[in-house]
Amino acid sequence: MNSDYRPYTLVAELTYRCPLRCVYCSNPVDYGRHDRELDTATWLRVLEEAEELGVVQLNLTGGEPLVRDDLERLVEKARQQDQKRPHAVGNLRPSVVLYNEEHRDADKVGDAIQKDLKAAAWKRRGGADLVLVVGTSLRVPGTKELVRDFSSAIHSQSSSATHRKPKHKSVLAIKSLFLNFEFPVPAKEWEGVFDVWIQGDAQAFAEMLRHQMETKKDLGEVAGSKRKRPLAVGIPTASLPDMMVKSKRKMKAIFSPSTCHPHAQRESILDVSNCFNGSGIINVSRILPENQRHAGRMAVDHSPLFRKRRGSIQHHNE
């Protein structure tokens, strides 16, 4: 056989099982059934045949190849074919970067972040409306730094837009929001980083927000009003007890005074579960501190939280 015309690479899709459900993945969704996979003996034979054909590169992929119980066996076979000594069992190391390890592409990641920071600070089109930090207790130095950088970028945006029409004066400019079960250790480094701190279940909060947006839409349609955003933003009662039970812990919203409405004098911690009136509608003004009630109503109207967002930055980590 002419050695120029032979396979060089074997892409072995060992399984279609995967713990992730990424929307862009080309992994077939209905193939996650175990009984359709090739068994160990077949793969070992395939690896031998690949070596005979002169394959020089083997990609063990999937799905998530690490869910296969025989992965180590297959890797060892491949190394043996490659005339290398076997790995110690349990020595497989996926290509992940652990905390406090240097990222291989640190430079590229840094570049991308710098561009994002620049874009986040834009005032008009393309600029971020909100920095939303979810699912991290902010303990890893790199993450902390990233979050602080984004927060200061988006706040630099608002400070340069101080000359606005008077009717916007009382608007709470919520530019950064933190949402997690656990809060980072209170320290000076977090001063002014987040306009709003919400303690609770991220999923429950997202559900709540979704209900509010749907209700808002309904209200708008019923009223037939020309207002683009109704004053009251509500959440249906039915879903509430469930949600509160599910989330176990109470969901709290904390508005920090430093970046909140200028009239705010103190930090307020309010329990959202107490914010529901008899009609089962939660008025967002109720989760605002007492002395900001009025501003709170305005916040419902203008807060970026309830506007359609472009390019809000979500950060998932830990």
Partner 1 sequence: VISTESRPRLASKVRLRFDRKGERYMLLYPEKGLVLNPTAAAIVRLCTGEHTVGAIVERLVEEYPTQGREALERQVLEFLSAMADRGLVHGDV
Residues found near partner 1 in the complex (CB under 8 A): 3-4, 6, 8-9, 54, 56-57, 104
| Backbone torsions φ then ψ of 220, nearest 5 degrees | -60, -40
Nearer to partner 1, 35 or 102 (CB): 102
Between β-strands 252-255 and 268-271, what pairing exists: parallel, antiparallel or unpaired? antiparallel
Nearer to partner 1, 110 or 135 (CB): 110
CA–CA dist 198, 132 (Å, integer) = 11
CB of 238 to partner 1, least distance (A): 51
CB of 56 to partner 1, least distance (A): 5
CA–CA dist 66, 252 (Å, integer) = 39
Nearer to partner 1, 108 or 294 (CB): 108
CB of 4 to partner 1, least distance (A): 8
Between β-strands 252-255 and 196-199, what pairing exists: parallel, antiparallel or unpaired? antiparallel
Q: How far is CA 159 from CA 104, 149, 150, 164, 310, in A?
A: 36, 15, 14, 11, 20
Nearer to partner 1, 82 or 182 (CB): 82
Nearer to partner 1, 50 or 138 (CB): 50
Nearer to partner 1, 59 or 274 (CB): 59
CB of 179 to partner 1, least distance (A): 36
Is residue 128 within 8 A of residue 313, CB to CB? The reply is: yes
CB of 52 to partner 1, least distance (A): 9
CB of 87 to partner 1, least distance (A): 16
CB of 11 to partner 1, least distance (A): 9
Nearer to partner 1, 8 or 24 (CB): 8
